[in-house]
Chains A and B, each alone.
Chain A
Amino acid sequence: MKFDKELLEHVAHLSKIKLTDKEIEEFTPQMQSILDSAGKIAQVDTSSVKMGYSQTIDFSELREDIVKPSLSNQEALANAPFTQAGYIQVWGATFGSEES
């Protein structure tokens, strides 16, 4: 797979990070070499290997719809660097709307 500047910029956009021109110059060949390296796995001959799922479970084995106690607000926020009025606070502009 060919990894060029445009693709790097697209991935940076999806990752919500800004890259300088210098970084783009530097990272593009690095990404190419990472992809080439990972791409070697595709060269393995798997024609004789049957596609299958490692593990299956039956519908009846699924979890019953029963509520168990949740964490307290204090516990839930214990590791958050920023909080406000019981909410977790995230700095910086986030764009777009909620996904679902």
Chain B
Amino acid sequence: MKKTALFLGVSVIVAGCASVATGPQAIDWNKIPATKVALFYPGQSSYQWLRSEAHAGAAKETARGDSCTSCHDDPKEEQRQGAKILRGNHPLEPHAAALKGKNGHIDMTVQAAYDDKNAYLRFQYKTHNPNHPGNDYPGYRFDGKEWKAYGGMRLNKNVLAGKTGIVYENRLNIMLDDGKVPGFAQQGCWLTCHDGERDMQKEASKAEVEANALLKAIKKSDVRKYIPASRSDPMDWKTGKPLDEIAKLKASGQFLELMQWRAHRSDKVGGADDGYVLEYRNFDKGSNHFASNMDGKTKQPKFMFDPAKFGAKAFAASDYGGKKELILVKGVNAVPFDPNAGWKEGDILPQYVLSAADAKGSAADNKAVSSWKDGVQTVVFIRPLGLANDDDKALKPGGVYNVGFAIHDDNMTGRGHHVSYTKTLGIGAKADITAVKLN
């Protein structure tokens, strides 16, 4: 390992430890019960598809609100469904050929504990690539004149067309409901996955998005996860309710908590996203652990690598997938961008710059620590108990919550993830996953 990488690793670990105090490192996880959860590749199985005749024999039952597991109850269900969808002739995956060799399911273990301040949720699973932690992310590449986006996930249109490289970070997501979102206990994450969203069937066109009143009002340029109650017709993303009605839903607790650990954009600063799903996949108020590295006015990056720390001011596409961590962190290896630094065609800088210090407000509630060793990813989320922000679900001792998990693995984002059926999480209460009180 080069000195620069070692420096970055050590610095970040120290920063991470400082931010999480003595939390998860002090827990003897060998004493905490482990629950096995299987996740599978769902393809384009949207809310709408599940209520269509294509969901053979189950459209009526799904629309009625039956749980997924009332039918999908075999011990190998996730293994079987994931393999079928990726097999090559399944209508839920039109790009199966491009995903040849992809694993249909992932076996994960979940452990949970809590003390007076926090809940600690620990996850372990094997990454599909045993040789890389999946912490690369698309960058901005200098083409000799301009800095343009480079890289994308496996299902990205430019990737499929061979116009750019396959690059995306791994992620681990938790979606959580406190019982206030009707149907989540039964159908989990599938309540939020709809036709019209990115890479889904009937993906919304730019013109359709621009013409939509709700998306215009919330200043969004695409369709992302939403809960059914945010639409007057949940089968149609275009029927968004007025903002005052959305606000009432939020005030009544009709939204889903969404926590995301990101291998590139949050891991090195000990963070995890804090967001929620209501009319869109939103971030909580405040600032995230990561921010755009593109200056909208100058159309140039804001930061570049400090050559003294990183070994160079930028990297090349051939560095992706290697041993060097291509992560830009303020106060560690980032310096302000110098437009006169002698940039050459092919130079790449990260699309995001990270900072633990810049993360603020409700968006900065969650912390995380992780490790990746011998192809096994371990992530511990640290979630403060009793959060009172209006965009948070408060975890409380004795509470039982409905949870769904997702893993974005092997250069995937959007729908290209593995997902679980709904489980329950109890904070000191009996559930599928019971958090143990720490002494």
A, B bound: no
